[in-house]
Structure 1
Amino acid sequence: MRSGTLIAGRYRLAEPIGAGGMGMVWRATDERDGRQVALKQALSEGRTGRVLRREAAIAAKLDHPNIVTFLGEVQDGDEWWLVMEYVPSSSLGTLIHAEGAMAPGRVARLGVQIADALAAVHAEGVVHRDVKPSNVLVDTDDVVKLTDFGISRALSTETTWTHTGLVGGTPAFLAPEVANGEEPTAASDVFSLGATLFTAVEGRQPFGDAENPLALLRRVATAPIPLADDAGPLAPVLAQLMQRDPAARPDASTARGLLQDVVDGRDTGPARWKPWALVAVAVLAAAVTVPILWPGRPALGAGDQRTADPCALIDIAALGRFGATELEEAYSGFPRCDVIVRGAGGSYVDFRVELKPLRGAPSGRARQVGPITVVDARDRSDLCERLVVLPDDVGVLVTADHDDGPVPSDLCLMADTSADHVATLAGQAELPRRNAPFPARSLARTDACRLVPEEALAKVPGVDPATHRPGFGNWSCTWRSATRNTIVTLYFDRGNNSFNEQRDGRFASVGGFATYTEPGGAGDDAGCDVRIVDHTYSLPTGKTKAETVMIAVTGGGETAERHCAVATDLTKALVPVLAARR
């Protein structure tokens, strides 16, 4: 197609001005009235032509000052064209590339208009599915027009497709649930709005760049949601638009109000930016959803321990300055999240965040980050630990642990930077929630203190089954003997589905469960661990993982093998309980 071509006997092509999700866009002149229009051409016949006509049907429903106006559709031979309002403008993506990070106030003003447009789109029962900077047109007066409904769909549509055969939308701006393969919703558009505004105010995409789109898709699906560093009063609003849980995000109309508050200079702190928290009220046996505004400052702390998400406390982008990062959500126990950091010279650092109950005041040099205390727990050349103390007697242990290769000189900087990030989050609201509940089969739904039959624990000399100390989320439990220096600990673990006797200890099959027994130490350090493989499962990435129950018996005065005998007896008593869960 060339400039000067007459389309459908009416529209004279002038120049290409862009490419939409499904076709080229040209500036053209309507020779009937002389006005400038934008013409969108399907890239090929067949499915893209059908999608173009579907876009026409969707666009015809929308009439809003911040949405590019649809003027009609025409056929020229075998080709279909959409006729749209021509907007002399630049895309927001072009502006970010040219100007870099924008001022929070300006971004909020643009955001108000995009949110208003999305509210109108959603009111018509349509999901845009590809909100991103390049689909936001901005004129010289900063008036916004949302464009490109090429992969949009009506909520009543049963099936969708994309030309990639993967997911619709641009990976860098997808909502996590969409990256995980779920169907896009209006809440997904709100996340993409937040990611678009994040990019504008920070001058970078929230999940970074990746040459491999599948790698970026995985990062969006699994990585913690980053916080905006330079957004000022816009930051708490972006945090809510980009909540991992779709149900926790405001709708587009509420998002518009929050962004307008930033424009008007009204408070957007934690007490202000959760006005859409919902309370279900039963009235005459009907569920009625009532929006309420929580008064005062929200409670700080871990909140419900089983839904607190340690991975959401990690700033992957900040760790990227120390090397290549790989998030490992199921590297160890349920209260923990790991990131492998591979740095210069082949250095290998296991960075982790772990939630744990606090008993007594922690020792070490302390500093304040807002209302939260950060304690320097351990400083070694190969390990740095920082403890973030929450007000509900929970600690967040941030550890940078050198594992292999040369020891990086900035190991403690990694721990300090990350601990400050955790403290900043913890000083604003309760810890973030997990994206989804644990599967029904998961040990995470089990109370470790109630798992071992009491009669089996009572056979351990000096142990009272009713006297125990639960760990975070009740995912571990400890019993101490009152007559001997013996400690029994049961905890749940996760890891790769790969076990061998050389590394994990002696293999035995007990009641159909694979077990591995590993004695170790002597004297006061004597102990024995028994690992029971409960079940295996697959992650969205394709990796196979295993959940295991660990029984550890330790303490002086007994040999490691004597401790193994106690652990083995407890294992035999425990296996029927595990079998009943299957």
Structure 2
Amino acid sequence: MLGELRTLDPCTLTDPAALRHLGAVSEAGTVSLDYCLLHLKPDERTLVQLAVGELVGPDEGGEGDPVVQHGALSIAQSAPVPGHCSRRVQFGDGVSLQVSADLLAGDPASGLCGIADSGAKLVADAVQQGRAGHRDYPSNSLALLDPCAVLDTESVNQVPGLEEATPRPGLANHVCSWGEQSADSPRVQLQHTAGEPPKLLHGAAVEEQIDGRRTVLSVVGGDPQVPLCSAETAHIPFGRVAGQVEVAQLVVALPGMTGTDACDYARGLARLAWPSLPPANP
């Protein structure tokens, strides 16, 4: 029903014009290959972000969530939490497409679940009407490259706590993860994404050349005591908006250690991964 997941354009699954009854709607820019972001302003003081398109497997959904039928598809209604409400458009194979509404500013009682409901119904309609569109990526795009093939698992197994870790690919093959996805577990993730070129956002970030690629190494959040570090490098231009690029993002988390330690491992893994990325000018 969605076609080739690697090239799926999640922005074709929503319709800003159909959401205008909820408030002013605008595109929010690209931060991922896997979901589309919109901003809604129900009133002058309230700003809501709607994320549409992230695919999740059966182990990532909430068991026992209420389900409503919408045509041939069903929509699972997750229980809201403060500032967040999500819905999952469910397919018959255990895969779901997530729609999330998050409050960025304004009144917490701003109808987030109503916005998520409307977004999920638009997705279900688009899918059932055959309107799921696809991006036309060039042959050297990161979107067409499996990140699990870019970073060798034997190298990841050298990271403390990940000696036995095996790769877990994302459903659209834009991300590969090693280790448990919890705050107290060591983990490595390589993601192919898109948006603005990597920037030096704080004093705990440095710019280096790794395999001839400008790379930004950054302790996430800027606190050197936080054991989470990313290594990011820009690739080729992305989409129709000037300045947007594809980005390879490598993240290393080492609970119990420091951000400097995490960056040392991120740097080492980037040195092994970047040579496997396609050339910017094939």
Distance 1:456 1:404 in 2: 42
Shift of 1:540: 3.3
1:549 Cα deviation from its structure 2 partner: 1.2
Matched residue, 2:270: 571
- Cα offset for 1:311? 1.1
1:468 aligns with 2:167: yes
1:372 equivalent in structure 2:
73
Amino acid in structure 2 at the alignment position of 1:317: A
CA distance in 1, matches of 2:73, 2:122: 11
Work out whether 1:535 is the aligned partner of 2:235. yes
Partner of 1:35: none
The two structures have a TM-score, normalised by structure 1, of 0.42
Q: CA separation in 1, counterparts of 2:11 and 2:145?
A: 21
Aligned Cα root-mean-square deviation (Å) = 3.0
> 1:309/1:540 Cα in 2 relative to 1: closer, same or farther (>3 Å)?
closer
**Residues 574 and 496 of structure 1: is their aligned pair in 2 closer, same or farther, counting only changes over 3 Å?**
same
* Alpha-carbon separation, structure 2, partners of 1:359 and 1:572: 34
Q: Please, which of 51, 60, 74 is the counterpart of residue 352 of structure 1?
A: 51
For residues 188-210 of structure 1, the C-alpha deviation after alignment (integer angstroms, 9 at most, x for no partner) is: xxxxxxxxxxxxxxxxxxxxxxx
Q: 1:537 to 1:581 in 2, by over 3 A?
A: closer
Shift of 1:459: 2.4
Q: Provide the C-alpha distance between the structure 1 equivalents of 2:105 and 2:167, rounded to a whole number of angstroms.
A: 37
For 1:544 and 1:447, the matched residues in 2 are separated by: 24
Counterpart pick for 2:103 among 383, 402, 424: 402
- Residue 196 of structure 2 is matched in structure 1 by 496
2:87 is equivalent to residue 390 of structure 1: no
Code of the residue aligned with 1:395 in structure 2: it is S
1:337 aligns with 2:36: yes
- Say whether the 8 Å CA contact 2:52–2:119 is kept in structure 1: no
1:532 partner SS:
strand
Q: Secondary structure at the match of 1:306?
A: helix
Q: How does 1:147-546 map to 2 (within 5 A)?
A: 301-328=1-28, 331-360=30-59, 362-363=62-63, 364-407=65-108, 409-426=110-127, 428=128, 432-434=132-134, 436-461=135-160, 462-463=162-163, 467-480=166-179, 485-497=185-197, 499-502=199-202, 505-520=205-220, 527-537=227-237, 539-541=239-241, 543-546=242-245
CA contact (8 A) 2:235 2:248 kept: no
Give yes or no for contact 1:513–1:532 (8 Å, CA) kept in 2.
no
- Higher RCO (CA 8 Å, separation ≥ 6 residues): 2
Runs of 4+ off more than 4 Å: 405-408, 579-582
CA distance in 2, matches of 1:450, 1:464: 18
CA distance in 2, matches of 1:504, 1:332: 22
SS in 2 for 1:319: helix
Cα shift readout 1:276-308 (whole Å, capped 9, x = no counterpart): xxxxxxxxxxxxxxxxxxxxxxxxx43321233
How far residue 492 of structure 1 moved from its aligned partner, in angstroms, is 1.5
In 2: Cα distance, 1:552 partner to 1:459 partner: 15
The alpha-carbon deviation at position 414 of structure 1 amounts to: 1.0
| More strand per residue | 2
Whether contact under 8 Å (1:347, 1:408) holds in the other structure is no
In 2: Cα distance, 1:317 partner to 1:356 partner: 24
CA deviation map 1:380-404 (0-9, x unaligned): 3422111111113321110111223
Q: Which moved more, 1:531-540 or 1:442-451?
A: 531-540
Show structure 1 runs of 5+ residues with no match.
Answer: 1-300
2:7 is paired with a residue whose SS is coil
The corresponding residue for 1:208 is none
- Provide the C-alpha distance between the structure 1 equivalents of 2:215 and 2:189, rounded to a whole number of angstroms: 16
1:343–1:439: structure 2 CA closer, same or farther, 3 Å change rule? farther
TM superposition shift of 1:536:
4.7
After superposition, what is the alpha-carbon deviation per residue over 1:315-343, rounded to whole angstroms, capped at 9, x for unaligned?
Answer: 21122122322235x51221111112234
Contact 1:536-1:544 at 8 Å conserved across structures? no
In our comparison, the structure showing a higher alpha carbon Rg is 1
The match for 2:247 is: 548
Shift of 1:520: 4.8
Structure 1 residues 540 and 506: CA distance shift in structure 2, 3 A = same
Take 2:109 and 2:137, find their aligned partners in 1: how far apart are those partners?
36
Matched letter for residue 234 of structure 2: D
Q: TM-score, normalised by structure 2?
A: 0.82
Q: 1:391 is matched by which residue type in structure 2?
A: G
Checking the alignment, whether the CA contact within 8 Å between 1:485 and 1:557 is kept in structure 2 is: no
Corresponding residue pairs, total = 272
Provide the rounded CA distance (Å) in 2 between the counterparts of 1:549 and 1:491. Answer: 6
CA distance in 2, matches of 1:303, 1:398: 19
- CA distance, structure 1, for counterparts of residue 204 and residue 47 of structure 2: 22
Query: Residue 93 of structure 2 aligns to a residue in which SS?
Result: coil
Identical counterparts, % of pairs: 25
Once residues 203 and 243 of structure 2 are traced to their aligned partners in structure 1, the CA distance between those partners, rounded to angstroms, is 19
- Distance, in Å, in 1 between the alignment partners of 2:167 and 2:229 is 19
Structure 2: which amino acid aligns with 1:570? Answer: L
